[in-house]
């Protein structure tokens, strides 16, 4: 998968981008506000054989489809080889809800890139590319498991549990870093996932039997309940100078000083002991290497580099930032997401419109 590299743009273009994004107020290439996301189209329940599915297509043509499947497995306490070790607290009395917490290995995430051969994907995985499937799988899985709420929903009493398979297909070459697209699509798929309703008494350690009427299936999450339950979401934010932007385009990523992946969830999805007074809870934050860091200090031809070396700073040729950014910048990026009425609440409320 070709990275959204700064080498795709000429040095004058990069210099103009960095200057316009550093202004007060900043000017984005597509005229969006700093916290605005690209327009998108979404649909759910499009895969008939899946327990939940969703598709999202951004206005730039980047598209992803996610399907969710589930299988019942026996729980073996003590972590025997080949089995899942589950931690339960009065799970037999709670029926696998609320009082039980499942093992993280019960959730599997797989990311595939359309148009890539198995050999190409294996080369990216072995090379440690941050845009390879294995890196994206790990980041998505970490976000989904960070609050512990998902695995708790997979417990079926003391002896059984669901194993969840989340299959993600990126249908088109990504024009920007694909993590937000994959996370938003996974969020919608999980919101629309329904699991067969058990008809056996799992609290009495009976073997699991399920209702074959799909209309009686139980939602994995309950977004419309008095205390809405919603899966975590990961968004991407960048900083250029003192300005912060969300859902960056390929051009903006090319001149970013720092790229931060922020994972959050609704506070109502957490136990009372973990929730805060606001509507959004921070789960994880991870920096992503900006594409410009992979290049030489000056982007352009040998003549451009020689001219920049001779003229020094202010020559009008873009140079990548040396070193990192201050903690106050990272703190402001996170605060814009988790504050009351911030980006996090806007994203969650917008996604609820497709449920």
How does DSSP assign 80-141, residue by residue? -TTSB--EESSHHHHTTSSSEE--GGGEEEEEEETT--HHHHHHHHHHT-TTSHHHHHHHHH
The reported pLDDT for the residue numbered 63 is 94
pLDDT in tens, the chain (355 residues): 444 454 567 888 888 999 999 999 999 999 999 999 999 999 999 999 899 999 999 988 899 999 999 999 988 765 543 444 444 333 333 334 444 456 788 999 999 988 665 655 555 555 445 456 788 899 999 999 988 889 988 988 888 899 999 999 999 876 778 999 999 999 999 999 999 999 988 777 778 899 999 889 999 988 666 667 889 999 999 999 899 999 999 889 989 999 999 999 987 655 544 544 457 899 999 998 866 555 544 444 445 455 444 444 445 566 666 667 889 999 999 999 999 999 999 999 898 887 6
Reply yes or no: is the peptide bond before residue 55 cis, omega within 30 of 0. Answer: no
Name the 3-class secondary structure at 191: helix
Please state the pTM of the whole predicted model: 0.82
Predicted local confidence at residue 326, as pLDDT = 87
Q: What is the pLDDT of residue 278?
A: 53
- 93: tokens are 């009395």
pLDDT of residue 336: 96
- Position of tokens 């070459």? 173
């Amino acid at each position: 998968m070709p990275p959204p590299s700064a080498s795709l743009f000429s040095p004058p273009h990069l210099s103009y981008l960095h200057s316009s994004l550093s202004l007060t107020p900043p000017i984005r290439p597509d005229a969006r506000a700093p916290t605005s996301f690209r327009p998108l189209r979404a649909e759910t329940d499009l895969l008939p054989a899946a327990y939940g599915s969703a598709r999202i297509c951004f206005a730039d043509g980047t598209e992803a489809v996610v399907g969710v499947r589930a299988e019942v497995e026996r729980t073996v306490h003590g972590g025997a080889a080949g089995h899942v070790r589950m931690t339960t607290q009065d799970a037999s009395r709670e029926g696998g809800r609320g009082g039980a917490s499942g093992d993280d290995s019960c959730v599997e995430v797989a990311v595939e890139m359309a148009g890539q051969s198995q050999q190409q994907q294996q080369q990216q995985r072995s090379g440690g590319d941050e845009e390879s499937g294995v890196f994206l799988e790990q980041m998505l899985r970490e976000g989904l498991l960070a609050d512990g709420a998902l695995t708790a929903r997979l417990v079926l009493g003391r002896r059984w549990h669901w194993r969840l398979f989340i299959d993600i297909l990126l249908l088109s070459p990504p024009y920007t870093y694909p993590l937000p697209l994959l996370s938003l699509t996974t969020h919608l798929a999980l919101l629309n996932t329904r699991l067969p309703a058990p008809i056996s008494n799992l609290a009495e350690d009976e073997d699991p039997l399920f209702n074959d009427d799909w209309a009686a299936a139980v939602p994995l999450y309950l977004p419309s309940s008095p205390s809405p339950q919603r899966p975590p979401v990961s968004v991407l934010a960048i900083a250029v100078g003192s300005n912060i932007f969300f859902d960056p385009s390929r051009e903006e990523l090319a001149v970013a000083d720092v790229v931060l992946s922020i994972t959050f969830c609704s506070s109502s999805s957490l136990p009372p002991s973990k929730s805060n007074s606001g509507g959004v809870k921070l789960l994880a934050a991870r920096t992503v290497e900006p594409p410009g860091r992979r290049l030489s200090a000056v982007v352009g031809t040998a003549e451009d580099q020689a001219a920049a070396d001779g003229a020094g700073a202010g020559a009008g040729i873009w140079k990548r930032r040396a070193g990192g950014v201050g903690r106050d910048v990272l703190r402001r990026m996170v605060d814009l997401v988790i504050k009351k009425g911030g980006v996090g609440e806007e994203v969650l409320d917008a996604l609820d419109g497709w449920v």
